Structure 1
Amino acid sequence: MSDREQLLLDFLKAAGLADATRDPLPGDASTRRYERLTTPDGRSLMLMDQAASAESPPADPSWTPEQRLAAGWNATARLSAGRIEAFAAVADHLRRLGLSAPEIIAVDAAAGLAVLEDFGDDLFARVIERGEPEEPLYLAAVEALATLHAAETPAVLIGPAGDWPLQVYDETALQGGADLFVEWLPKLDPELAFDAEAVADWRAAWAPVVARGAAGATVIAHRDYHAENLIRLSGRSGAPMVGMIDFQDAVRAHPSWDLHSLLQDARRDVSPALEAKALDHYFQFYPQIDRAVFMRDYAGLAALNEARILGIFARLIVRDGKPRYAAFMPRMWDHLNVNLKQPGLETVAAWFDRHVPEARRK
């Protein structure tokens, strides 16, 4: 038996769950692991296993950009490193707002273990595949974001596993994410090559988008808000019907971030009509917003995120041997190509025209 397994058994025993049946869930692109626990009386719970040693350190709020870059990817751009205590603190904050995040049943932050309320398997993506109308689900997801954005955004979140600083999705993090594109796409597609001048031009082209994104970082962003991370909860309506999971990487970010993550999804098609209706629904809660300015930032940050995700998918394929992520890349290219035509992205679009022919953007 491994030391990790013994630690897990001791944790379950201390939580009164030594007799629970354990069923591993399929893995994803992260270092987290989940198991469904079933107690002898039939209760279903979720075990989250995220060893801190599996990740490079999270960002320290006092670090300079240079220190963050030297400390690795998590300190540069991911910020929280997926820590259990981050998940617990965000969950507690969401629940206090009346939103649906799993209750923390037991947690040991040092061990990287938690037992959570089980929201079941009705992911938005799956229930839509079974024929449930998608529009009410997406509008409820927008209502949940409107509720979150209307609340005070604390600098420190108080949670059952300890306090957690809510870090800002700032220039270093935004540009660090975008740079995955120029780092990893040539490794996937050898016909692409970006020399030092091209990389410098890349960063200069994104600089205005990055600056606006950092300046507009005023709300908590889930950071991975899409139909595979939202669960339809029976017996609830409106925002509370939206069960949120996988929010351990939450940050203070521009309010458009979770909206474009939801509406320009890498894993499923969202029609332009539904995207427009969902955005209209959001603006009903915020009639004071300058919509033109907001949508400029929405398109710019969506394009940056799509470049980031293309870089992540390339890395997963090349470095991690996960070719299935190639199936998602054409959808990301489609989103990016549309956004590059929007106001404010002329310099970025010109960079792509010079360095990534349109024939390779698919």
Structure 2
Amino acid sequence: MSSSREETIRAFLASAGWAAAERRPLAGDASTRRYERLSLNGRPAVLMDWPSGPDAPVVPGRAAYSRIAHLAEDCRPFVAIGEHLRRLGLAAPEIYAADLERGLLLLEDLGDNVYGELIARGAGPSGEKLDELYRAGIETLLRLQSVPAPAMLPVGDGSEHKVPHFDESVYRAELDVILDWYFPVVLKDEASPSMREDYHALWTSLRAMVDAGVPTLFLRDYHSPNMLWLGDRAGAARVGLIDYQDALIGNRAYDVVSFLQDARRDVPVEREQAMLAHYVAQANAELQGFDEEQFRASYATLGAERALRLIGLWPRLLKRDGKPQYMAHMPRTMDYLRRNLAHPALSDLRLWLDANVLSRAR
């Protein structure tokens, strides 16, 4: 971090009354954001340091991937979507202070009970069974999906955040990640033009299942690293949410499959199916226009689409960003892909992947 950025942060904390706070780094994620944990007279908070800009170096002559895939490039979407979540009674962190122009937020600290660590331990911090944590995660999604998807959300400074749709731009960008990175980095081969054409044609035929059903706001990265257990709260507010700035409008199944096919932690097929059945039962009772058969087809389709994007993302993080640790998630992601490909609607895609990816991955 540059000295000028540090000076900007110090001035921000001083204006918020936190100049005397103790500061220490907080583990981040695969993004360009940086976090610190603060303590002032025993009161905790989190500093989000997010200078505006694309998520990765821009290739001359091409739009940034973050622009194509509708990824947030500054903190304004985080502020707008977080306020929407709090209005629904969900546990997005409160914002104590904000400098939107400089990309600095002082946030409520939701603690250390990260879902991923609790899943690894096999229980919640007070002995809660994992099924209770998973049901709370499902309850959170049902609350989110119980209201119409918002087209515009206020940021708080007089401007508004237009919530993007899961449109053709993001759809094709996500599909290309495996072709652009898994093939050259892992298979040591390039995806030929005809291969790309056939692959995209398959996904064109599956687009109806991606768009099926009543659209909702989905958080896009609803999985264990971005969820915290707040067992002293009630209902859906027991799940703390910390990564939702890239939220889109699209299929109800997207967040459900992201949660139940967690890219960072093993979800045994038995738990996945039990929690999926729990979601379906509740959705049938609570959500307008819910169609189980349609939903399950969308779940498998979006599960496959998401898995394929991640299969390309892990080698991209390895090769471009120097983060080899993410390759450890590859076997799990491949397993999830195979689970989804068992759905009859994906039979043609399964044949293509067997010939071009899965047989070579073995």
- In the superposition, the TM-score normalised over structure 2's length comes to 0.91
Provide the rounded CA distance (Å) in 2 between the counterparts of 1:286 and 1:213: 18
* Counterpart for residue 144 of structure 1: 140
Provide the rounded CA distance (Å) in 2 between the counterparts of 1:260 and 1:166: 21
Q: SS at the partner of 2:353? A: helix
Provide the rounded CA distance (Å) in 2 between the counterparts of 1:326 and 1:128: 20
The answer on whether the counterparts of 2:209 and 2:294 sit within 8 Å (CA) in structure 1 is: no
The answer on whether the counterparts of 1:99 and 1:240 sit within 8 Å (CA) in structure 2 is: yes
For 1:140, the aligned partner's letter is A
Provide the rounded CA distance (Å) in 2 between the counterparts of 1:245 and 1:322: 22
* Counterpart for residue 44 of structure 1: 44
* Counterpart for residue 200 of structure 1: 197
Which stretches in structure 2 are left out of the alignment for 5+ residues? 124-128
* Counterpart for residue 33 of structure 1: 34
Q: 1:138 to 1:332 in 2, by over 3 A?
A: same
Provide the rounded CA distance (Å) in 2 between the counterparts of 1:262 and 1:109: 30
Provide the rounded CA distance (Å) in 1 between the counterparts of 2:121 and 2:197: 47
- In the superposition, the TM-score normalised over structure 1's length comes to 0.91
The answer on whether the counterparts of 2:166 and 2:248 sit within 8 Å (CA) in structure 1 is: yes
1:337 aligns with 2:343: no
* Counterpart for residue 263 of structure 1: 260
The farther-off stretch of 13-22 and 213-222 is 213-222
* Counterpart for residue 87 of structure 2: 96
Deviation above 6 Å: which 4+ runs of structure 1? Answer: none
Q: 1:179 to 1:213 in 2, by over 3 A?
A: same
For 2:151, the aligned partner's letter is A
Choose which of 82, 105, 112 in structure 2 pairs with 1:114. Answer: 105
* Counterpart for residue 235 of structure 2: 238
Q: SS at the partner of 1:344? A: helix
Provide the rounded CA distance (Å) in 1 between the counterparts of 2:206 and 2:214: 12
How large is the RMSD of aligned CA atoms in angstroms?
Answer: 1.9
* Counterpart for residue 276 of structure 2: 279
Provide the rounded CA distance (Å) in 2 between the counterparts of 1:180 and 1:251: 19
* Counterpart for residue 250 of structure 1: 247
Aligned-residue offset at 1:215:
5.2
Q: SS at the partner of 1:276? A: helix
For 2:92, the aligned partner's letter is A
For 1:277, the aligned partner's letter is A
Choose which of 55, 66, 70 in structure 2 pairs with 1:74. Answer: 66
Q: Summarize the alignment of residues 5-20 of structure 1 with structure 2, pairs less than 5 Å apart.
A: 5-20=6-21
Provide the rounded CA distance (Å) in 1 between the counterparts of 2:252 and 2:351: 27
Q: 1:53 to 1:83 in 2, by over 3 A?
A: closer
Provide the rounded CA distance (Å) in 1 between the counterparts of 2:238 and 2:72: 28
Q: 1:82 to 1:255 in 2, by over 3 A?
A: farther
The answer on whether the counterparts of 2:51 and 2:103 sit within 8 Å (CA) in structure 1 is: yes
* Counterpart for residue 151 of structure 2: 155
Which stretches in structure 1 are left out of the alignment for 5+ residues? 58-68
Aligned-residue offset at 1:282:
1.5
Identity %: 39
Aligned-residue offset at 1:286:
2.3
Provide the rounded CA distance (Å) in 1 between the counterparts of 2:217 and 2:340: 24
Provide the rounded CA distance (Å) in 2 between the counterparts of 1:175 and 1:32: 25
The answer on whether the counterparts of 2:47 and 2:104 sit within 8 Å (CA) in structure 1 is: yes
Q: 1:191 to 1:109 in 2, by over 3 A?
A: same
Provide the rounded CA distance (Å) in 1 between the counterparts of 2:48 and 2:214: 29
Provide the rounded CA distance (Å) in 1 between the counterparts of 2:262 and 2:325: 16
For 2:324, the aligned partner's letter is P
Q: 1:103 to 1:110 in 2, by over 3 A?
A: same
Q: Deviations over 1:91-147 (max 9, x none)?
A: 100000011110011111110110000000001122233341211001110011001
* Counterpart for residue 65 of structure 1: none
The answer on whether the counterparts of 1:56 and 1:81 sit within 8 Å (CA) in structure 2 is: no
Aligned-residue offset at 1:74:
1.2
Q: SS at the partner of 2:277? A: helix
Provide the rounded CA distance (Å) in 2 between the counterparts of 1:33 and 1:210: 36
The answer on whether the counterparts of 1:171 and 1:211 sit within 8 Å (CA) in structure 2 is: no
Provide the rounded CA distance (Å) in 1 between the counterparts of 2:190 and 2:56: 29
